[in-house]
């Protein structure tokens, strides 16, 4: 091992161990901006084939493939920093999974989660949320409610442009007032439509999360996963620390990256172990059969962690 790297990994683990005891500690340690938290949440929810395991495996493979290419090319430092951040996201999600496994908190998907959108809801907030979701998950443009929101938005913008163009040319005071009133009524109707479709969208989203069953992570003996998540956390932290060491030192970068690539199967094996553990927990629970099969826990983790991160993001927005 390169001189100094082992000492850095040990020091980083000591620092992380204390922070990882609570959600607030984990959030503070990583200090991801609220936009990044929303992006992670949306990526987790978009992992439709295998849930949280799919999310973690995708990042691992993308990062390891990038590092493998460094055998034949000069490191792009910005990309290397970006990949280090991506691996950090895996570590971040894994530590939250460990909190669930430890019973620190449980978000019960089966509880009443009626979504209501007040008529006073700021349109800018609604549109910012929808645009942010579309940026993180472009396939969302195919959602019916989202299509309707975008259609209403286009009409709103067109009507606004028309009003701004015509209003200065109306000299008669009464006609000007009538003109203004008509446009205000049009804007009000369009705003109401957008709020309605947004409410429908949120209800659809919540319904999709619980449509198969009312299962929750609380229905499974997750404490048995603590050892797996502690091991994953150690290994993913070592991955991050190693990349950070290479980036900061700019010393033996290729050698360090090639060494990580050689451990590709070992890193992926961590996820295989998690998948096997999920299967055992599903069998032990003796629950009503779920069409998500052995992946049900992986999907529940993805959905529930996403909800946690969205709540944290919303709180950060309110406080800013």
Sketch the domain layout of the chain as residue ranges: 5-110+214-310, 123-206
End-to-end CA distance of the chain: 44
Most confident option among 89-93, 114-118, 212-216: 89-93
pLDDT at 2 over 90: no
Residues 6+ apart with CB under 8 A from 159: 183, 186, 187, 190
DSSP 107-174: --TTS-------TT--HHHHHHHHHHHHHH-GGGGGSHHHHHHHHHHHHHHHHHHHHHHHGGG---HH
243 closest CA partner among 59, 75, 83: 83
DSSP 191-211: HHHHHHHHHHHHHHHHHHHHS
pLDDT at 299 over 70: yes
Residues 6+ apart with CB under 8 A from 127: 149, 153, 194
pLDDT at 211 over 80: no
Residue 72 DSSP symbol: S
pLDDT, position 241 = 94
pLDDT, position 116 = 41
- Under 8 Å between Cβ of 223 and 277: no
Distance, CA of 308 to CA of 52 (rounded, Å): 14
Residue 295 DSSP symbol: G
pLDDT, position 56 = 97
- Under 8 Å between Cβ of 284 and 221: yes
Tell me if residue 252 falls in helix, strand or coil: coil
pLDDT at 191 over 90: no
pTM higher than 0.85: no
Distance, CA of 32 to CA of 310 (rounded, Å): 13
Sign of the four-CA dihedral 101, 102, 107, 111: positive
Percent of the residues in the chain that have a pLDDT greater than 90, as a whole number: 45
Distance, CA of 297 to CA of 294 (rounded, Å): 7
Reported confidence tier of residue 121, pLDDT bands at 50, 70, 90: low
Which ranges constitute the DSSP H helices of the chain? Answer: 5-19, 23-30, 34-45, 51-69, 77-102, 123-136, 144-166, 173-210, 226-249, 253-262, 264-285, 296-319
pLDDT at 243 over 60: yes
């Amino acid at each position: 091992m390169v001189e100094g790297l082992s000492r850095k990994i040990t020091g980083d683990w000591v620092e992380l161990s204390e922070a990882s005891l609570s959600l607030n500690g984990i959030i503070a340690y990583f200090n991801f901006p609220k936009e990044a938290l929303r992006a992670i949440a949306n990526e987790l929810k978009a992992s439709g084939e295998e849930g949280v395991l799919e999310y973690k495996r995708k990042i691992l493979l993308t990062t390891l493939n990038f590092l493998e290419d460094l055998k034949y090319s000069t490191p792009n430092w910005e990309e290397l920093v970006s990949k280090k951040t991506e691996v950090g996201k895996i570590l971040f999600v894994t530590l939250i999974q460990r909190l669930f496994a430890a019973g620190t908190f449980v978000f019960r998907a089966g509880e009443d989660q009626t979504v209501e959108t007040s008529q006073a809801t700021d349109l800018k907030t609604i549109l910012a949320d929808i645009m942010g979701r579309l940026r993180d998950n472009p396939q969302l443009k195919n959602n019916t409610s989202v299509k309707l929101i975008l259609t209403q938005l286009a009409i709103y913008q067109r009507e606004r442009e028309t009003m701004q163009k015509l209003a200065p040319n109306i000299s008669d005071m009464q006609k000007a007032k009538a003109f203004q009133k008509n446009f205000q009524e049009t804007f009000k109707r369009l705003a109401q439509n957008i709020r309605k479709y947004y409410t429908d969208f949120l209800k659809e989203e919540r319904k999709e999360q619980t449509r198969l069953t009312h299962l929750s992570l609380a229905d499974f003996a997750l404490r048995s996963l603590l050892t797996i998540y502690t091991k994953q956390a150690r290994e993913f932290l070592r991955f991050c620390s190693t990349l950070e060491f290479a980036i900061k030192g700019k010393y033996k970068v290729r050698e360090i990256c090639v060494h990580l690539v050689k451990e590709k199967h070992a890193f992926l094996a961590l996820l295989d172990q998690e998948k096997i553990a999920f299967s055992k927990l599903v069998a032990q629970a003796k629950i009503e059969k779920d069409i998500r099969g052995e992946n049900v826990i992986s999907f529940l983790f993805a959905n529930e962690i996403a909800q946690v991160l969205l709540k944290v993001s919303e709180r950060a927005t309110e406080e800013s």
